[in-house]
Amino acid sequence: MPMKYDVCIVGAGFGGLAAAAELTRKGMSVAVLEASNELGGSAGKYERQGYRFQSGATVGMGFEPGGVFDRLYTSLGLDKPSMTLLNPIMDIHMPDRTIHYYSKKAQWYNEIEHHFPEDASRIQAFYDEVFRVGEMVDAMVEKLPVFPPKTLSDWIRLTPMISRNSIQLLPYMNQTVYDRLKKYNLHQNRLFQIFLNGELMDSVQTSVERCPAFLGFTALQTFHKGAFAVHGGLASVAEQLSKYIKESGNEVFLRHPVHVVEKKGAGYHLHSKRSKVFESDYVILNNSVHNLHDTLSEELRNQSYIKPEKEKSREAWGAFIIHAGVHEEVFNNTDVLYHQFIDPNHPDDLHDGGQFLLSLSDPSDDQMAPAGMRSLTISTHTNVSQWWESEDYEAAKKRMNQRLIDTVNHYFPGFEDRLDLVLPGSPVTFQKWLRRDQGKVGGYAPTGKYSWIRSYSIRTGIKGIYQCGDTVFPGAGTLGVTLSGLMAAKELTR
């Protein structure tokens, strides 16, 4: 007999766990079905030889007072995990300088004056606009609207959100970040654009010329609201949410891939391993839109408004990632845990090693590495297709691995010689372990000022089946996927 629940959630990433925790709080019976042996999805972890490595996402956002996770933890009655507030958020290592990216506004504006003296006043005015617009977008998204609206009820529920502030957002919804730079005559400042491109690639997966202004501004201001290194990695958050779900009487099943979801009577059957079947009235899919059509039965696929050929044509990045251990003395001269590197020979390349992020474990966090060592994650965006079409996959992986290590070694001499365990991974690795189709991660890359209109909402077009995660509005990052999970939970319980 199938195991019966009110809601079954496919995937224990941040979106699925947030939805499950919220539905649990509201008294519904919930089962979370996760294919892998770990929680957190692309923000999960794994352990090797005394190190704990973060699968993908590493920076904690939304834990500041009033932030997404601060509100979620308060509503669930949970204590937040131990964490370190980052200031600077990161160091950006550029060909001729290192920019300290401070979270505090006054310090950041002083840093702007130091590195961009001729354009400092214009850049500061640009950031004043970033902060103002970002706060307006946050205020709207925090109300968890279904966006983009797909049904009449979605449009009706958006009506109360129309205000003087929301109307002021309209110009930023039909311009790119590059368009706004033109307003301040900053579009010719190449150095500042290299810097902005690095931050937008890290947060929105695109460049100033292709990023809708309201999305880019929201991402840029989020850095300054509070960035944290969560002790034990972001997987600590996933573990807390899972514990809350289970201690409240619901279930989280690891190593339970969902092979197919099919309609059965008034509800749904989810088929998992060894012919195990779960039955529910509602389903939330947190396994990405990339995997949607492989998860649904043919009958349900035909009902979805998301068509396979359209979905597969959308631009999406993969990630090339290195997990490694390093002797702590390599970074003894800096307290900064996050470092963004711009390849000194190719500063305009935004992927495949042209720019990338290195995350170091906090030396006070003994969960992450043996004594005297630090665990680290290096991650760069990469074109997915090349890894599946490569004639010599291992040689390609070795070349990319060496390119990233050489760049870090350029800025931190001795880095390569002091490495311990080195574990590189490509989109092929992400498909194998996280079951992401072709290894696509980070959602869809914005391609222009109106690309947000093509965003997928939490609605699949199938009654009773919702979706959340990095491929669903408001997009990538732990904040975005968590908000989409809460949006799905809110709509499901109407």
The DSSP code sequence of 28-91 is: --EEEE-SSSSSBGGG-EEEETTEEEESS---EES-STTSHHHHHHHHHT-PPPPEEE-SSSEE
> H or E element: which one contains 105?
helix 105-115
Q: Determine if residue 51 is left, alpha or beta; phi over 0 gives left, psi from -120 to 50 gives alpha, anything else beta.
A: beta
Which amino acid would we find at residue 11?
Answer: G
Closest CA to 148 of 443, 491, 472: 472
DSSP strands (E only) in 95-216 = 97-101
Q: Are the CB atoms for 323 and 376 separated by under 8 Å?
A: yes
Q: Are the CB atoms for 403 and 336 separated by under 8 Å?
A: no
Please report the pLDDT score of residue 166 as a whole number: 78
Given the structure tokens 């093509």, which residue do they identify? 454
How many CB atoms sit inside 10 A of residue 345's CB?
A: 11
- Using alpha carbons, list the distances in angstroms from residue 471 to 142, 190, 315, 438, 475: 18, 31, 11, 14, 6
Tokens of 335: 């307290």
Tokens of 477: 């990052």
Q: How many residues are listed for the chain in this entry?
A: 494
- Using alpha carbons, list the distances in angstroms from residue 416 to 113, 344, 379, 405: 34, 17, 16, 6
- What's the burial of 262, exposed, middle or buried (CB within 10 Å: 0-12/13-18/19+)? middle
Q: Are the CB atoms for 268 and 275 separated by under 8 Å?
A: no
Closest CA to 116 of 139, 99, 140: 99
Please report the pLDDT score of residue 159 as a whole number: 85
How many angstroms separate the first and last alpha carbons of the chain? 29
Tokens of 144: 């968890």
Phi/psi at 246 (nearest 5 deg)? -75, -40
Q: Are the CB atoms for 13 and 481 separated by under 8 Å?
A: yes
pLDDT means per 10 residues, the chain with 494 residues, are 94 98 98 96 95 93 96 98 95 92 97 97 98 94 91 89 82 97 96 94 94 96 94 97 98 97 97 95 96 96 93 94 97 95 82 95 95 97 93 95 95 96 96 92 95 95 97 94 98 95
User: Domain residue spans in the chain?
Assistant: 3-46+60-83+232-313+445-492
The DSSP code sequence of 130-147 is: HHHHHHHHHHHHTT---S
CATH architecture of 3-46+60-83+232-313+445-492: 3-Layer(bba) Sandwich (3.50)
The C-alpha angle with vertex 494 and arms to 77 and 135, in degrees rounded to 5, equals: 60
3-state secondary structure of 4: strand
Which amino acid would we find at residue 463?
Answer: K
Given the structure tokens 């699968």, which residue do they identify? 55
For the CA atoms of the chain, what is the radius of gyration?
22
How many CB atoms sit inside 10 A of residue 120's CB?
A: 16
Which amino acid would we find at residue 254?
Answer: L
Please report the pLDDT score of residue 167 as a whole number: 87
Q: Are the CB atoms for 299 and 461 separated by under 8 Å?
A: no
β-strand pairing of 355-360 with 373-382 = antiparallel
